[in-house]
């Protein structure tokens, strides 16, 4: 790369960092419930509980928590990892296009434009899904390059990355199986010739089944049936089921350019075979999305994730589309001996207009998928107080606040909003105004401490009173 190109790339990566970090300017804590969940899981792993379905990601968080205060740095992690993912995508596209800097750069910018929200998640959050993004780009690149160039070393790289992802975020491997399978059929002769070598990919289901068996402590007789059921994601799998618009995840101008990019790849014979994977990627995921919308079931990976993975396959296509719009404009000015400054300004205006339209509604979220704040700064102070309470105590608190109890205080909440504990008892406790009923719940669940934003008039001993209330219950 030329020096000027390096500077442009660095500036783009800085832009992506602040684009993602902007949502944390006024809020220093994790937004998504999955983020709180995995911080809690990391605490469990540190205590010796390794039965986590996304253990690899939880181990990564544990390593970070050993090096620093995970709660203080978490707000930076989505932006930092978005840059890592963008840089990986740049590397992949740069190599795939024989060092075409502009297609690689445009791919990175369109990648950053993929929208995030609380339902579909995305790069605004640091979760197993976003952690997997650079590895997805890499294993698909190495697999396709390995087959195209008949390079077994690349194929082994792909296999190793996929095996690493299985205990980290298995869905980020499973969604691509149909894509890679269909791609392989187009190269059937090579696969047939190297049948013994490609049998190594049986490692993927073997590792997956073994890990699944261990995590859920299943017998061999039940593991296959249990796993088969787990890989059928029916309506209701997600916390909230919406008929999402495709524009919730990607911009209209991005789609238009992607369609143009597909046309370019199909009409240029030298591109069709080389970039076939980028045609198959969105098409196969569209079939899966359509199947879910018709029959309310998705196989291998859930509908919400498929919608995000579908968008993940579009930036390269949009970049191809934009590049081949700019190229004839550039050629026209050069052919007609126009001033270089006029050519530069015209192309710059075109690029700026495209990316203005691309990011115009970037922070506009669907009403049903708005960001939510589990805690505020006053809650954080109260949870730090709870950290000093006797160990082994469970805490009764509102469900949303409860998601942050373990990550901050190390104490166990009775129930959290989606994942763990006795959610029903928490709802019954806070919906009742009868002190006797409240005390019966606390006694049954052996809860001594209650955290609440509003005072509870039940003659309990108050141990904390600073915009939150913590009660010590003598039962």
Same-domain pairing of 352 and 211: yes
Same-domain pairing of 327 and 440: no
Interhelix angle for 276-295 vs 128-148, to 10°? 130
Alpha-carbon span 159 to 143, nearest angstrom: 8
CA distances from 164 to 58, 62, 157, 161, 201 (A): 13, 17, 11, 5, 13
Same-domain pairing of 348 and 432: no
The domain of 396 spans 377-472
CATH of the domain at 419: 3.40.50.12610
Of 328, 353, 369, at which residue does a domain stop? 369
Same-domain pairing of 320 and 339: yes
pLDDT of residue 16: 96
pLDDT of residue 94: 96
Of 351, 369, 387, at which residue does a domain stop? 369
pLDDT of residue 211: 78
| Phi (first) and psi of residue 405, to 5 degrees | -60, -55
SS3 content of the chain, % helix, strand, coil (to 5): 65, 5, 30
3-state secondary structure of 239: coil
Same-domain pairing of 340 and 393: no
Same-domain pairing of 349 and 415: no
Same-domain pairing of 334 and 406: no
Between CA 361 and CA 60, with CA 238 as vertex, the angle to 5 degrees is 80
Contact 71, 78 (CB under 8 A): no
- 185: number of Cβ within 10 Å: 9
Same-domain pairing of 316 and 405: no
Same-domain pairing of 89 and 106: yes
pLDDT tens, position by position, 334-389: 676 666 777 778 888 888 999 999 999 999 988 777 888 889 999 999 999 999 88
3-state secondary structure of 411: coil
- The number of distinct structural domains making up the chain is 2
pLDDT of residue 75: 94
Confidence (pTM):
0.91
Tell me the pLDDT of the chain (475 aa) as tens digits.
788 899 999 999 999 999 999 999 989 999 988 999 999 999 988 888 777 788 899 999 999 998 888 988 999 999 999 999 999 999 999 999 998 999 999 999 999 999 998 888 899 999 999 999 999 999 999 999 999 988 989 999 999 999 999 899 989 999 999 999 999 999 888 888 887 887 878 888 888 788 777 777 777 777 777 777 777 877 766 666 677 788 899 999 999 999 999 999 998 888 888 899 999 999 999 999 999 888 888 888 888 889 999 999 999 999 999 999 998 877 777 676 666 777 778 888 888 999 999 999 999 988 777 888 889 999 999 999 999 888 888 899 998 999 999 999 988 898 888 767 788 888 898 888 888 898 899 998 888 899 999 888 888 889 998 889 999 887 6
Strand partners, 464: 470
Same-domain pairing of 402 and 365: no
Contact 429, 438 (CB under 8 A): yes
Same-domain pairing of 353 and 390: no
| Phi (first) and psi of residue 465, to 5 degrees | -150, 90
Same-domain pairing of 355 and 432: no
pLDDT of residue 240: 65
Of 311, 338, 369, at which residue does a domain stop? 369
Name 39's Cβ contacts closer than 8 Å, sequence gap at least 6: 30, 61, 65, 70, 71, 74, 406, 407
């Amino acid at each position: 790369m030329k020096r000027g190109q390096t500077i442009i790339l660095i500036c783009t990566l800085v832009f992506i960092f602040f684009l993602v970090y902007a949502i944390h300017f006024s809020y220093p804590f994790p937004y998504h419930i999955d983020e709180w969940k995995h911080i809690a899981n990391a605490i469990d792993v540190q205590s010796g509980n390794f039965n986590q379905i996304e253990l690899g990601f939880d181990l990564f968080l544990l390593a970070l928590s050993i090096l620093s205060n995970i709660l203080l740095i978490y707000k930076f992690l989505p932006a930092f990892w978005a840059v890592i993912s963008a840089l990986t995508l740049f590397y992949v596209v740069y190599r795939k296009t024989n060092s075409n800097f502009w297609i690689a750069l445009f791919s990175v910018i369109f990648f950053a434009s993929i929208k995030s929200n609380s339902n579909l998640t995305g790069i605004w959050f640091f979760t197993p899904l976003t952690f997997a993004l650079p590895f997805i780009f890499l294993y698909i690149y190495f697999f396709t390059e390995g087959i195209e160039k008949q390079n077994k070393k690349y194929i082994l790289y792909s296999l190793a990355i996929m095996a690493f992802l299985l205990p980290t975020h298995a869905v980020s491997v499973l969604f691509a199986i149909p894509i890679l399978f269909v791609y392989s059929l187009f190269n059937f002769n090579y696969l047939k010739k190297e049948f013994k070598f490609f049998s190594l990919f049986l490692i993927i289901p073997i590792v997956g089944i073994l890990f699944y068996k261990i995590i859920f402590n299943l017998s061999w007789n039940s593991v296959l049936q249990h796993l088969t059921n787990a890989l059928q994601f029916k309506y209701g799998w997600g916390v909230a089921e919406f008929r999402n618009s495709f524009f919730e995840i990607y911009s209209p101008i991005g789609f238009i350019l992607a369609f143009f990019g597909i046309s370019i790849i199909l009409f240029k014979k030298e591109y069709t075979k080389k970039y076939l994977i980028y045609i198959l990627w969105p098409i196969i995921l569209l079939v899966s999305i359509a199947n879910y919308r018709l029959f309310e079931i998705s196989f291998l990976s859930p509908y919400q994730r498929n919608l995000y993975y579908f968008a993940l396959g579009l930036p390269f296509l949009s970049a191809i589309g934009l590049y081949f719009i700019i190229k004839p404009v550039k050629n026209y000015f050069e052919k007609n001996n126009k001033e270089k400054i006029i050519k530069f300004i015209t192309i710059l205006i075109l690029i700026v207009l495209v990316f203005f339209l691309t990011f115009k509604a970037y922070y506009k979220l669907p009403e049903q998928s708005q960001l939510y704040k589990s805690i505020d700064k006053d809650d954080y102070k109260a949870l730090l107080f709870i950290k000093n309470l006797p160990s082994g105590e469970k805490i009764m608190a509102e469900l949303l606040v409860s998601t942050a109890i373990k990550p901050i205080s190390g104490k166990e909440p009775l129930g959290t909003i989606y994942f763990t504990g006795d959610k029903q008892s928490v709802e019954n406790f806070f919906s009742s105004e009868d002190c006797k009923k409240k005390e019966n719940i606390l006694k049954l669940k052996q809860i001594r401490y209650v955290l609440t934003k509003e005072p509870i008039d039940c003659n309990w001993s108050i141990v904390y009173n600073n915009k939150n209330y913590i009660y010590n219950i003598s039962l």
